[in-house]
Amino acid sequence: MTTATTAHDDLPPRLTRLTFHGPLSEARAAGMVRRLAASRPATVLDIGCGWGELMLRLLGAAPQARGVGVDVNAADLTRGRRAAEARGLADRAEFAEESAMGTGRGPADVVLCLGASQALSDDLVTALRELRRLVTDGGRVLLGEGFWQRTPTEAELSGMWPGASTADHHDLATLVDLAVAAGFRPEWTETASLEEWEEFESAYQADQEVWLATHPGHPLAPETRARLDTHRAAWLTYRGVLGLTYLTLVPTTN
């Protein structure tokens, strides 16, 4: 009985290799924080924040600012609260477990939405309009959004996520045009490098891959193996095809 209980309790740590929940290097993150802090924000809103690493770094660089991160993943939010406490930011950082759909949290001086536009709407045009609603005039939106680096083939689409379609993303030029049409001007346009993607995707799975290698007979091993193999096959298929852009957007005013 003791052996079985120990086996079930001996689970892999969750995402401990990830600093950011996306393909983002330390150097790029530092540049983003410098640019955003230069606008001297008083309020920061992080949509689909996860554990809010970039928000916390921005609060550290902008001591006049207060931030709130919104997400529905309780474990990630707990990690964010612990990080805020450890950095002495608990009095300026709130992590709210709630949906961002139609949120009344804004407007904020800086809105972060990194790989999380779907938290606002499944339709990108609608999500961009929501971001414009949520940011103050003179503020900034930092949007991390996927785009096709080239049109994927049918064979490639079949190896990605279930139901993958060319309609799932735009090319970069179209994406920027949609942001402009939604009421923004692009202050800064940058894209995640292949190195950033590989570091993110490897770190995303690393904890569980190591655990699986040393626990092949664990009751959860078959499920874990299937999940890891499926995800790895997908990202090695969209590697070099799916890109991620980080757009620093300035709202236009009438």
Is 90 exceeded by the pLDDT of residue 4? Answer: no
Q: How confident is the model at residue 220 (pLDDT cuts 50, 70, 90)?
A: very high
Read off the pLDDT of each residue in 118-142 and give the average, rounded to a whole number.
97
For residue 126, CA distances in Å to 116, 129, 253 come to 13, 5, 19
For the full predicted model, state whether its pTM sits above 0.95: no
Is 70 exceeded by the pLDDT of residue 9? Answer: no
Q: What is the pLDDT of residue 14?
A: 86
For residue 228, CA distances in Å to 106, 118, 205 come to 37, 24, 7
Is 70 exceeded by the pLDDT of residue 129? Answer: yes
Contacts 24+ apart (CB under 8 A), 163-171: 169/242, 170/124, 171/147
Is 60 exceeded by the pLDDT of residue 6? Answer: no
Round to whole Å and give the CA distance between 117 and 125.
10
Is 70 exceeded by the pLDDT of residue 99? Answer: yes
Read off the pLDDT of each residue in 11-22 and give the average, rounded to a whole number.
91
- Exposure pattern of 46-68 as b/e (b: 16+ CB <10 Å)? bbbbbbbbbbbbbbbebeebbbb
Helix %, strand %, coil % of the chain (to 5)? 45, 20, 35
Is 90 exceeded by the pLDDT of residue 108? Answer: yes
Taking alpha carbons only, the member of 110, 133, 108, 109 closest to residue 121 is: 133
Q: How confident is the model at residue 11 (pLDDT cuts 50, 70, 90)?
A: confident
DSSP-assigned states of every residue in 10-22: -PPPSSTT-SSSS
Is 50 exceeded by the pLDDT of residue 16? Answer: yes
For the domain 26-150+164-194+242-251, what is the CATH code? Answer: 3.40.50.150
Is 50 exceeded by the pLDDT of residue 229? Answer: yes
Round to whole Å and give the CA distance between 66 and 49.
15
Determine contact, residues 195/202, Cβ cutoff 8 Å.
no
Tens-place pLDDT, residues 190-203 = 999 999 999 999 99
Mean of all residue pLDDT scores within the chain = 95
Backbone angles phi, psi at 17, to 5 degrees: -80, -10
Determine contact, residues 198/175, Cβ cutoff 8 Å.
no
For residue 50, CA distances in Å to 24, 35, 60, 105, 175 come to 14, 22, 18, 17, 24
